[in-house]
Structure formats: C-alpha cells, structure tokens
Amino acid sequence: MKEVKVAKSAGFCFGVQRAVDMVYKEAAKADNTDRKVYTLGPVIHNEQVVSDMENAGVYVIEDTDSIEDGTDTTVIIRSHGVSKDVIDHLKAKNVKIVDATCPFVSKIHHIVEEKYNEGYNIIIVGDAKHPEVEGICGWCKNSAYVIGSVEEAEKYNSHRGEKLCIVSQTTFNYKKFQDIVDIFLKKSYDILVMNTICNATEERQTEACTIARQSDAMLVIGGKHSSNTQKLFEICKRVCPNTYFIQTLDDLDWNKLQSFRSVGITAGASTPNNIIKEVQSYVRYEQ
C-alpha cells in the first residue's frame, strides 16, 4: 500500500459549488414542464459534470444568437461570467437569467467598470483567451490590455503618468502575478493594483506545492480546459518532476507510479469529489 496524501483544498471551490447547485436547482424546476434550460458555455470546465447536467436536461449553448426569445427559456450564466453586452442581449430576449457567476469574478466586473469610468486604463493579468478574462474585458468596453507573462509586461509601453488599474484573473498563478506587478511598479505610471486572485486559488496553489515537494510523484486531477488545474500542474511540475495531469482514473498510467513510494494528489476547482476519491483509493491499494 502506497503513502498517499490528498490536498485538503482539492476539488470544488465555493464559486463552482454554487454554480453547480444553481444548475441542478433550475433543472428540477423545469422537470416535467416545457421550460428549456441552457448554460451559456460550459458552466464549469469539467466534461463529466457537463455531461451529467445534460442528462438532467440542461444543455450548453455557445452564443446568445442560439437562444430563442421568450419567458419559457432559462439561461444560466456560467461561473466564469460574461460581458455586460451579453447580459443586455439576454435581457432583450426576455428570457429568465440565472447568474451563476462566481462572486469573486463579479467583484472584478464592478472594479473594472468603476475604474474605467474614472479614467483608468485597465490591465488584466491572465489568459486573454480564457472566458473569465473575455468577460472581464466586456465591462470596460473591451479596452483592457491583457498580460499573461513577465515578458509581455516588460514590453508594455504607454504614456508616462497615465493611470493604470491592474486586476487579475481569479485563478492566475499568485507568484507570476507578483512578478508582473513588480515590473509595472518600476515604470513611471500612476498604478492601482487590485489583487483579485481568489483566496481559494492561493490556498490551493500553496498547498499543492507543499505536497509536491514532499512526494515522489504528484497527480493533478481536472478538466483539460481548466485554467486553474493547468496552473496547479505547472506549479507541481516545477518542484516534483514526476507530476501527471489526469481528468479521471481512466487517464492514469499505473506503470508510471509503481516505483514510487509516496504519491500526492490535488485537483482543480471544477473536479468533483467522487473522481478524487476514486483516484485516491486506486493509488493507495493497487499493487
């Protein structure tokens, strides 16, 4: 039997659990009725959860043009949030809107909108192609400058003395955010820094790094499109070369783990607890 340590912070965070609960609540309300329930994009980045939601009668649509007008339709805004224009478009269609945006993401929307109206240029530290960042951009009329690396921060050059408001994608690597902010602080700008990385993300990343240092091998469980899981993998891989990214137990190559005495396990914020427990049990008892 192997020594297995599972991160206490692994699995659904508050925002994801809230969003998932809201989806199933709307599915229950629509059961045995003609009401159609959709999520605008996958409510979370986990294929197994999204598939289960479809079985419950909740389907993913990718854009507002696909939504029929009318009060017999419910549209759920996913945990990553959307732009103000998308909200306005849905209101014009007269559909029922259920906003499952993570409260930490909604907070960024309010900050960006307020500071943009006050004359600040908005800098978002994050992945420009991630739906959360795309949504945030929509609260400052898509004028934000998105920076995802130290190299991009070093290349940034604008008018001296301009006002900058720097925010972060909630799941961004905390150390990388600090490094990027340090570069901006060395430039002659009027800077307002808002660390909008959620506390759960910081805790999850710190704990994952600690466990990875103490383990012969590390398993990071999560959806292949999950930004926060990818960042956990990168953090663990730097301190534990034998780190593996899997979505479910089916992706686990047991031959790679057989020679290791201790195995650490963490999981992204969109990973259900049953998947984590299944991997944990298999690794601990498989010989």
Indicate the residue type of 268.
Answer: G
Q: Crossing angle for the helix pair 199-214 and 174-185, nearest 10 degrees?
A: 120
pLDDT in tens, the chain (287 residues): 679 999 999 999 999 999 999 999 999 999 889 999 999 999 988 888 999 999 999 999 998 888 888 779 999 999 999 999 999 999 999 999 999 999 999 999 999 999 999 999 999 999 999 999 999 999 999 999 999 999 999 999 876 668 999 999 998 988 899 999 999 988 877 899 999 999 888 899 999 999 999 999 999 999 888 888 999 999 999 999 999 999 999 999 888 888 899 999 999 999 999 999 999 999 987 65
**What's the burial of 57, exposed, middle or buried (CB within 10 Å: 0-12/13-18/19+)?**
middle
Determine the 3-state secondary structure of 224 from DSSP: coil
Q: pLDDT tens digit string along 72-122?
A: 999 999 999 999 999 999 999 999 999 999 999 999 999 999 999 999 999
- Tokens 């720097």 belong to residue: 166
Give residue 58's pLDDT.
95
Q: Which amino acid is at 249?
A: L
Cα-based torsion angle of the residue sequence 240, 241, 245, 250 in order, rounded to the nearest 10 degrees: -110
Using CA atoms, how far residue 175 sits from 152, 171, 172, 180, 251, in Å, is 16, 12, 9, 9, 29
pLDDT computed for residue 1 by the predictor: 62
What residues act catalytically?
A: 132
The single residue listed with the structure tokens 């953090």 is 235
Question: What is the secondary structure of 42-58 as a DSSP string?
Answer: -SSS-HHHHHHHHHTTE
pLDDT of residue 227: 85
In the block, which residue shows the tokens 């990388």?
A: 176
- DSSP codes, 23-34: HHHHHHHHTTSS
**pTM value?**
0.86
In this prediction, residue 36 carries a pLDDT of 93
- How many C-beta neighbours within 10 Å does residue 159 have? 8
Residue appearing with tokens 């999981």: 267
Beta bridge partners of 246: 221
CB-CB neighbours of 224 under 10 Å: 13
Q: Mention every residue, 6+ apart, whose C-beta is less than 8 A from residue 207.
A: 7, 8, 9, 266
Question: 75 near 67, Cβ under 8 Å?
Answer: yes
pLDDT for residue 276:
95
Give me the pLDDT at residue 224, please.
86
List domains and CATH numbers for the chain: 3-12+199-285 (3.40.1010.20), 14-101 (3.40.50.11270), 104-193 (3.40.1010.20)
